[in-house]
Amino acid sequence: MARKQDRYAKSAQSQVMVNGHAIRLSAPSDRAVVERVVAFIDRKVAEDDWRPHASKEAALKSWSKLNGIRAAVLRAKGLL
């Protein structure tokens, strides 16, 4: 029984919830990256500041090409 609980505990630690969406982490340090990206995206949206991109659409198009954590956060936020 303890073994089963350990497996679930590890899976809970290997993901972060953003707006009700689970973002899987490949390394423990990814948690800090997700938090940093969420803060960055929230700030950009709140300030409507998309520099160095010309517009929100241009910024989202550019960021979506990066895939990985940034794209996962954008999908969780409903921006992609």
**pTM score, whole prediction:** 0.77
What does the pLDDT read at residue 67?
84
List the domain boundaries for the chain. 2-76
pLDDT in tens, 2-12: 555 555 545 55
CA gap 55, 36 in Å, rounded: 22
CA gap 31, 45 in Å, rounded: 21
- Does the N-terminal peptide bond of residue 28 adopt cis geometry, omega within 30 degrees of 0? no
The DSSP symbol for 20 reads: T
CA gap 33, 25 in Å, rounded: 10
